[in-house]
Amino acid sequence: MTQPQRVARPITFALSKGRIFDETLPLLQAAGIEVLGSPDSSRKLILPTNQDNLRIIIVRATDVPTYVQYGAADLGIAGKDVLHEHSEQHAGGLYQPVDLNIARCRMSVAVAQGFDYENAVRQGSRLRVATKYTRAAREHFASKGVYVDLIKLYGSMELAPLVGLADAIVDLVSTGGTLKANHLEEVEHIAAISSRLVLNQAALKTRQAELQPIIDALMQAAIEPSHN
Ligand code: PRT
Ligand code: MG
């Protein structure tokens, strides 16, 4: 008796909605890939594309590396900020082949306007720093030899200095509008941030024939200035 043929699941591409999804669309389009539907207009978490063997899944930005690492997604796009925090606890399993140069911003230290950060650092005061990026913050202050107490938050870091939770925050800054609106100022630049394509290592071996054209097309689209 002949066995029914197993249909391989489509290549699964993890994206977060918002800026990463929005900035990835033109790269996919340049690669001939159309996403059918959008996370803004429907609550569907799995979106088909115009290619039978490729689908998009919509996950939280911080969850993209987890889906890819465990192989539930074959590839995904995540910010350098997210990947740096993720890799502290989950070594291996993830391949970061290319910086797509999208969703660009910077990671900075910010304080309430008027707070004398330089002086506090010079005096060796023990600073309280609120952040979602505890690894990046710990490494930054350790490299400066500054003692800090880190307070882990999951969002709206800008509030912390305003209500006395922290002296400083480590957060992402793009236009600077959010800091300004909350009477905060940037006092130190930690790193330039952009988003990277990540790949599941096993999938890269077992499904390379299907993955490579997608990787190549995204890399090609990313270096063409019209998409940056
Ligand atoms: O929003 P949610 O809690 O669901 O998740 P998320 O914040 O992790 O996702 P999302 O989509 O907001 O961010 C995804 C990725 O985009 C991040 O991991 C970064 O790599 C990248 N990115 C680029 C940014 C920004 N620019 C950015 N400006 N991520 C966040 N911001 C926030 C920042 O935290 C601050 O609150 O925007 C605010 C500052 O913006 P400006 O323009 O006012 O300076
Ligand atoms: Mg956000």
pLDDT one-digit tens code per residue, 202-227:
999 999 999 999 999 999 988 886 55
The protein residue whose alpha carbon is closest to atom 26 in ligand 1 is 105
Q: Residue 44, Cα to own-chain centre: how many angstroms? A: 21
**Residue 147 DSSP code:** -
Q: How does pLDDT run across 95-147, given as a tens digit for each residue?
A: 877 999 999 999 999 999 999 999 999 999 999 999 999 999 999 999 999 99
Cα of 44 vs centre of ligand 1, distance in Å, is: 22
Instruction: Give the pLDDT score at 40.
Output: 92
Confidence (pLDDT) at 225:
60
pLDDT in the model for residue 96:
79
* Top mutation candidate among 105, 106, 109, 195 for ligand 1, by most atoms within 8 Å of CB: 105
Question: Which residue's C-alpha comes closest to atom 19 of ligand 1?
Answer: 79
Is the predicted pLDDT of residue 7 greater than 80, yes or no?
no
**Residue 228 binned pLDDT confidence (cut-offs 50, 70, 90):** very low
Q: Write out pLDDT tens, residues 139-191.
A: 999 999 999 999 999 999 999 999 999 999 999 999 999 999 999 999 999 99
Query: How many CA within 13 A on the CB side of residue 202?
Result: 8
Q: CA 99 → CA 10, 104, 198, 223, 227, distances in Å?
A: 24, 11, 9, 10, 13
* Stretch 47-56: mean pLDDT: 97
For residue 195, give the ligand nearest its CA. Answer: 1
Beta bridge partners, 129, equal 150, 168
Ligand 1, CB cutoff 6 Å, lining residues: 16, 18-20, 60-62, 79, 81-82, 103, 105, 155, 171-178, 193, 195
Q: Which pTM was predicted?
A: 0.94
Angstrom distance (rounded) from CA 62 to CA 77? 10
Query: Exposed (0-12), middle (13-18) or buried (19+): which is 91, by Cβ within 10 Å?
Result: exposed
CA 28 – CA 54 distance, rounded (Å): 11
- DSSP H helices, the chain, are 19-30, 64-69, 80-89, 117-122, 134-144, 177-181, 201-206, 208-223
pLDDT of residue 5: 67
Polymer length of the chain: 228
* Res 1: pLDDT: 57
